[in-house]
A and B are shown apart, each in its own frame.
Chain A
Amino acid sequence: MIEFRQVSKTYPDGTAAVEDFSLTVPSHTTTVLLGSSGCGKTTLLRMVNRMVEPTAGSVRIDDVDVATVRPVALRRSIGYVMQNSGLMPHRRVVEDIATVPRLNGVPRAEARRRAMELMEVVGLDPQLARRHPGQLSGGQQQRVGVARALADDPNILLMDEPFGAVDPLVRLELQRELRRLQDDLRKTIVFVTHDIDEALALGDQIVVLRPGGRTAQVGTPRELVEAPADDFVSRFLGLGEGRRKLRAAPRPGGGQVVTDDAGRPLGVLDDADGGPSADAGE
């Protein structure tokens, strides 16, 4: 469990990135920090592994204040995936994935073996092991980033817009695979994004943020869609827009046809699958 206790961050230049933010991230679930650019998501995320020190308040992991843990040791125990992949341009894929196990003292051969295993877990062709990141596609790089973060089997995974820079199709595939992975691994994931669809697709819990790292609403995807706390959340989720304002109409063959606000068909609703309160998950 990760707890943010009334944390604030004012950067040396005076920017108040986060003000008095509190949140509990339950273990073994995915919590999404959702908000537009500059609202303090990265700042909050990096407080967990002490890449950012809060100017007030504390972050606790399983009731231990992270400020009492050596940053280097803390970071080696937490997986971190970055938007730009953050791969080492001078290292081969397999070496990069083995970074944290090596830092934690795992012998070279054993670390490599694990790295190769992880490549398979994240769906990377083992042939790519000897490549350098510059020789990989954006999607492959992000997979390597995920494999590297998972390499020493951390309990916590921090993901900062990890799929933000890849094209939409690849992004959907990566999201799907992350869900599959998470079904197996049950990590405590904090996932940052500004993409509403991504948040709805991945989050067990979603935190909608206003600028200044203030919480607008916390809830499950369903709770947010069903009962947005206010206009800000409603507008942010795009509930007022045609795309998410869905209609259902009876269909001759049984069930209902679902259309968006403009009347474009999105799919068919089976009567057997419960009423028109369908999750707008995907």
Chain B
Amino acid sequence: MTPLLEALDWVLTADSWTGPGGLGVRAGEHLLYSLLAVGLSALVALPAGLLIGHTGRGRGIAVVSTGVTRALPTLGVITLVALAAGIGLTAPMVAFIVLAVPSILAGAYSGVEAVDPQIVDAARAQGMSPVQVLLGVEVPLGMRLILGGVRLATLQVVATATLAAYVGAGGLGRPLFLGLRNYDYAMMLGASIVVILLAVVLDALFALGQRLLARRPGTA
């Protein structure tokens, strides 16, 4: 059997999924880390990005700083933070947030910027306050791009979250690194396949969300 078929076979075996170190638990951890990282990033990056898009201020800084952070190697960040924070979830979480923030930020400000300025002008002229313009006009009309940023961030984090295992946390990186160390290529490849599946499913959910949004009238 080729390694790929062996890997598939391993993934499709019920035994691989059960137990405390099984794929089920690992996939759950993986998903949890990813959603936590994206959620925490969104908590910071969404308001910041919306504000940048609304005011037009701070865009230059945002572009430069996201460019810089995007160039940071995630493994390097994990190692660096782990030196200070030790083994565990903190270091990979910081690295994933560094990874996710730029995408969410860029999606948020470009979503707001993409809204027709005449519509924003009309909203202001009716007497909407800046917050009302942002939440009532710019966010709903820019939602597709805003969601696009979160989608990209999720994809990046899910694909990278295997690195959590590098500093002793769980996730699908565990079987992957274990397989690598033990020359168990079926396990290694199998874990990768589950990561890919997870990413594809999440991405499809986002695509569906965006598709539904696109059907709403006026969405850019």
Contact = CB atoms under 8 A, between A and B. Distances in A.
Interface in A62-108: 72-77, 80, 82, 84, 86-90, 99-100, 103
Contacts of A86: 118-119, 121-122, 125
A90 B218 contact: yes
A103 B128 contact: yes
A99 B126 CA distance: 8
A87 to B, nearest CB: 7
Given A86-B118, A90-B140, A134 B217 contact: yes
Interface residues of A, number: 25
Contacts of B123: 88
Contacts of B125: 46, 49, 51, 75, 80, 82, 86
Interface string A109-152: 00000000000000000000000111100000000000010000
A100 B126 contact: yes
A100 to B, nearest CB: 6
B126 A75 contact: yes
Interface in B26-81: none
B127 interface: yes
A51 B128 CA distance: 12
Contacts of A76: 126-127
Interface in A156-207: none
B18 interface: no
Nearest to B216: A90
Contact of B218 (A73, A75, A134): A134
B120 to A, nearest CB: 10
Contacts, number: 61
A222 B137 CA distance: 44
Interface of B is mostly: helix
Nearest to A80: B125
Interface string B99-120: 0000000000000000010110
Contacts of A87: 122
A64 B125 CA distance: 20
Nearest to B122: A86
A75 B119 contact: no
A182 B209 CA distance: 47
B219 interface: yes
B181 to A, nearest CB: 54
A148 B123 CA distance: 12
A46 B125 CA distance: 9
A75 B217 CA distance: 26
A103 B127 contact: yes
Contact of B137 (A80, A88, A133): A88
27 contacts: A46-B125, A51-B125, A74-B127, A75-B125, A75-B127, A76-B126, A76-B127, A82-B118, A82-B125, A84-B118, A86-B118, A86-B121, A86-B122, A86-B125, A87-B122, A88-B122, A88-B137, A88-B218, A90-B141, A90-B216, A90-B217, A90-B219, A99-B128, A100-B126, A103-B128, A103-B132, A135-B217
Which 9 residue pairs are nearest across A and B when measured between Cβ atoms?
A89-B218, A86-B122, A76-B127, A75-B127, A132-B217, A90-B218, A80-B125, A72-B129, A99-B126
